[in-house]
Amino acid sequence: MRVYTRIMNKSHSCICINLRQASLAITRFYDAVLEPSGLKVTQYSALIAIRQLEPVSISGLAENLGLDRTTLGRNLRVLERENLITFSPGQDQREHTVHLTSQARLALEVAYPLWEQAQAKIRQNLGQPQVEMLKTLLADLEATIA
């Protein structure tokens, strides 16, 4: 008797798809809340990271953000075109170090209360302990595949 492979027919049993769907939905929410600042949440997080690490190379920034180097490089071009960042040569002639412009600092000041508002809504509706639990689980999850 042949036993045919039983395939799960519920995509929501997939941990990855669960994560992706939540990630996309929450991203849409943050992008909508941040809209008056002209920044998307990906751009906001990149600018925050740059401000924190400046001066920083593209690869260093990518590692910090958990993104592929080439992905971040292309994302940064958008920010450069919008006059939010500039590049300058580093000590090492291979490196391009990234800098915030004053326009970016202004945009971050506009974006910050909006971002806080998004964070607050989730904290209030989900509960602070649940938010902390979620962060812990996400960190542990990433550790399982490292």
- Cis peptide, bond prior to residue 113, ω within 30 of zero: no
Q: How far is it, in rounded angstroms, from Cα 118 to Cα 31? A: 10
Picked from a second copy, DNA, none, the partner binding residue 95 (CB below 5 to 8 A depending on kind) is DNA
DSSP annotation of 39 reads: -
CB of 128 vs DNA, minimal distance in Å: 26
Site string for a second copy, 36-75 (x = CB under 8 A): -----xx-xx--xx-xxx--------xxxxxxx-------
CB of 28 vs DNA, minimal distance in Å: 4
CB of 74 vs a second copy, minimal distance in Å: 15
Note whether 78 binds a second copy by CB under 8 A: no
Q: Looking at beta carbons only, is 83 or 138 nearer to a second copy?
A: 138
End-to-end, the C-alpha distance of the chain in Å comes to 40
Q: Which amino acid is at 35?
A: E
What does each C-alpha distance from 74 to 69, 80, 122 come to in angstroms? 9, 10, 30
Instruction: Calculate the CA 126 to chain-centre distance.
Output: 21
CB of 133 vs a second copy, minimal distance in Å: 6
Q: Looking at beta carbons only, is 8 or 94 nearer to a second copy?
A: 8
Helices (H), the chain: 15-34, 41-53, 58-65, 69-81, 102-126, 128-144
Site string for a second copy, 97-126 (x = CB under 8 A): -----------xx--xx-x--xx-xx--xx
